[in-house]
Amino acid sequence: MTKIEIIAHRGASAVCPENTMKAFERALELGATGIETDVQLSADGRLMLIHDETLQRTAGASGWVKDYTYDALRTLDAGSWFHSDFAGESIPSLDMLFNLVQGKRILLNLELKNGVVPYKGMEERVIQATREWKLEQQVVLSSFNHASLVKCKRLAPEIRTALLYMEKLYRPYDYAAKLEATGLHPYKLAAEKEDVSAALAKGIVTYPFTVNDPAEMQRMMDMGVQGIITDLPDVLVSQMAAK
């Protein structure tokens, strides 16, 4: 059986409210080897884990994450929208996730959500936190904002970066190499078998997202990817065991 990274997208987000500590803890229980999460900045500059730039969908509040302080964000309920069993789950900080994985060999894929809101100083803050927690070897910074990843690489050459993209790219591995990224995170329909092997030959790994259907997981594994980002880490564990 070829081992690949099993990366829980927003934690075990099929069975728990996304981007909550419950979702991260459950992902580890289900056998994930990595956790993907989304990073935004509070009004007072704290790194918070929430997918949307606005609070309505998952935290039931109006307005933007960027306009709420850390204390105000921490009072919001990020669990009830998913199921009443999770009422009171909160929006975690990045420090809370770092604390959870301390001493564990878990890959942390931090997606910088700095495409819509141009969070000033986000890169510096994420890098500082990663260094403080001594997680440089475990963290992979990804973003659809490739300029931001170039900035990260300049500030912290020791931390890996990975390019997120939705559409097929021409020779994505050459583009990644130019940006000194060591990961390609394509949308599942943008992943190409030839690119996966050509990327690996340059030391660049491919982790497609978000792959939840077992047949699609199999197709990605047959393509030779080195990891899969999924809402269903347990399904991927079973799929790999059946191989």
Q: Is 160 in the site for ligand G3P (CB under 6 A)?
A: no
Report the residue number, 43 or 116, with the smaller CB distance to ligand G3P.
Answer: 116
User: Least CB distance from residue 38 to Ca ion, whole Å?
Assistant: 5
Contact between 231 and ligand G3P (CB under 6 A)? no
- Determine, following the binding rule CB under 6 A, whether residue 188 of this chain makes contact with ligand G3P: no
Confirm or reject binding of residue 27 to ligand G3P (CB under 6 A): no
52/174 with CB nearer Ca ion? 52
Q: How far is the CB of 71 from ligand G3P (least distance, A)?
A: 26
Q: Which one of ligand G3P, Ca ion, none is in contact with 139 (Cβ closer than 5 to 8 A by kind)?
A: none
9 binds ligand G3P (CB under 6 A): yes
- Three-state DSSP string of the chain: CCCCEEEEECCCCCCCCCCCHHHHHHHHHCCCCEEEEEEEECCCCCEEECCCCECHHHHCCCCEHHHCCHHHHHCCCCCCCCCHHHCCCCCCEHHHHHHHHCCCCCEEEEEECCCCCCCCCHHHHHHHHHHHCCCCCCEEEEECCHHHHHHHHHHCCCCEEEEEECCCCCCHHHHHHHCCCCEEEEEHHHCCHHHHHHHHHCCCEECCECCCCHHHHHHHHHHCCCEEEECCHHHHHHHHHCC
Check residue 18 for interaction with ligand G3P (CB under 6 A). Answer: no
The yes-or-no answer on residue 51 being catalytic is: yes
Residues designated catalytic:
9, 51
